[in-house]
Amino acid sequence: MKKINEIFYSLQGEGFHVGTPAVFVRFSGCNLHCDFCDTKHEQGRMMSDEEILAAVRNYPCRMVILTGGEPGLWVDDQLVTALHAAGKYVCIETNGTRVLPEGIDWVTCSPKQGTQLRVQRVDEIKVVYQGQDVEPYLQIPASAYFLQPCSCMNTTEVVDYIKGHPVWRLSLQIHKLIAIP
């Protein structure tokens, strides 16, 4: 059983896959306490892998994004295998502090300052920028490196930083900017 905050269908609003239709499986609970987190961790219900899979199958897209909270607290080989068996492309958005199961198709790591990364493979780094030193995150092998304004509040600062450090790309939360349901 896994604690699920919500399962919904929308477009990916940030990072590498922005604009792509996806089913979001939002897990409750996290091992960190970021002040900008948009998950209500006290909410949610316990669901079996079969119930999660049944909910995911209600939507026509191939991409499934496991997010949170911290999905690494809940996701296991059995869930990833079941999603693949259903023909899904499995993505995860993680803070990187947990070892993840093998077989996840795309790993987005959003590391937080002062934490030790335990994730084995990263496809994309996405840092919520609040003026912290982000250069150490470039040591993590990834295909893409994104800086994201914190809740759309410091966009000018992020743009200026990226212009001075062009290895980074801008990630905006377009789902918030244009109110994608």
User: Does position 113 have pLDDT exceeding 70, yes or no?
Assistant: yes
- When the pLDDT of each residue in the chain is averaged and rounded to a whole number, the result is 93
In this structure, which long-range contacts are made by residues 114-117, counting pairs with CB atoms below 8 Å and at least 24 apart in sequence? 115/32
Q: pLDDT digit string (tens) for 46-57?
A: 999 999 999 999
- Which whole-number Å values give the CA distances from 126 to 102, 164, 171, in the listed order? 21, 18, 8
Domain 2-177 has CATH 3.40.50.620: no
Q: Is the dihedral of CA 42, 47, 49, 53 positive or negative?
A: negative
Q: For residue 37, what pLDDT is reported?
A: 65
**Positions marked active-site:** 24, 30, 34, 37-39, 93, 175
pLDDT level of residue 43 (50, 70, 90 thresholds): confident
Domain boundaries, the chain: 2-177
Query: What share of the chain has pLDDT > 70, as a percent?
Result: 95
Q: For residue 126, what pLDDT is reported?
A: 97
* Whether this model's pTM surpasses 0.75: yes
> DSSP string covering 18-76, please?
TT-EEEEEEE---SS--TT----TT--EEE-HHHHHHHHTTS--SEEEEESS-GGGT--
Rounded distance, CA 131 to CA 59, Å?
A: 38
